[in-house]
Amino acid sequence: MLAIAFFSGCNTGDSMQNTFYSEVKSVNKLVLAQMTISKMATIDDLSLSEAKGLKQSVAAIGDAMKIGNRKAAYSYDTYMRAFIDLTNLQPTDVTVDESSKTITLTLPAIQTEYVGRDAEIREDHYRVTGLRSEIDAEERAKIKEQMNTALKTEVEQNPVFRDKLSLQARGKANTYFSSLAARDGYNVIVKFKES
C-alpha cells in the first residue's frame, strides 16, 4: 500500500525539499461532518506607537522613512472532518433485544482530522505603492505557513472547533444509523465507544 517515490532535480534548498513523497492508503472511514475554518493575516508596516522593544522600534523608524505603503490581507480556508473508523466495528457492536424490541449499536469513537486547505490563497487587499517591494510568491508561501501554524495552535487550544464538529457528527450518526437499522417497530439506540 505504500509507495515511496523520490527525488526531483532542483538547484536550491536542502535535501528534504528535494524529496518527493507519495502514499496511497486504503481506509474505511465513515465521514459524518466537515468544518470549514477561515484564517486571515494582514501585512502592514510597524508603527512606532505599537512597537515593543528595541528591535521593533528600530524597524518602525525604518518603515516610517520608506517611501510608499505596503499593505495586504490574505486568507484561505482549511477543512476538518469528523469520522468513525469502520475497521473498528465488530459484529458484537450490534445487539438485538427481542423482548424490548431494541437494537443497540455501539459505534467506534468519533475522530477528527484535517482534510487539507485551499491551495489557492485569497488576496483580500493589496496596496503596495511608491518605492516599496512587491509581495512575491515566496513571501505569500511563508505567510501561509505562519497562518497554518497559528490556526493549528488555535484549534488545539480552543476545544470549540472539535466539539462543534463532533456534535454535528454524533447527530448525523444517530439519524443515519437509526434509519438504517430501524425495522419492524424496533427502537434503535446509538452509542459511541470512548476514544
Site for another protein in 167-186 (CB under 8 A): 168-169, 171-172, 176-177, 180-181, 183
Number of residues in contact with another protein, rule: CB under 8 A? 97
Q: How far is the CB of 75 from another protein (least distance, A)?
A: 8
Site for another protein in 8-47 (CB under 8 A): 8, 10-13, 17, 19-46
At what angle are helices 160-181 and 137-157 packed, to 10 degrees? Answer: 70
**What sign for the dihedral angle of Cα 162, 163, 169, 173?**
positive
User: Do strands 70-85 and 111-117 pair parallel, antiparallel, or not at all (unpaired)?
Assistant: antiparallel
Site for another protein in 42-101 (CB under 8 A): 42-46, 52-57, 59, 63, 70, 74, 77-79, 83, 86, 89, 91, 93-94, 96
Q: For another protein, which residue of 141, 156, 159, 187 counts as binding (CB under 8 A)? A: 141
Q: H or E stretch including 164?
A: helix 160-181
Contact of 84 with 111, CB cutoff 8 Å:
yes
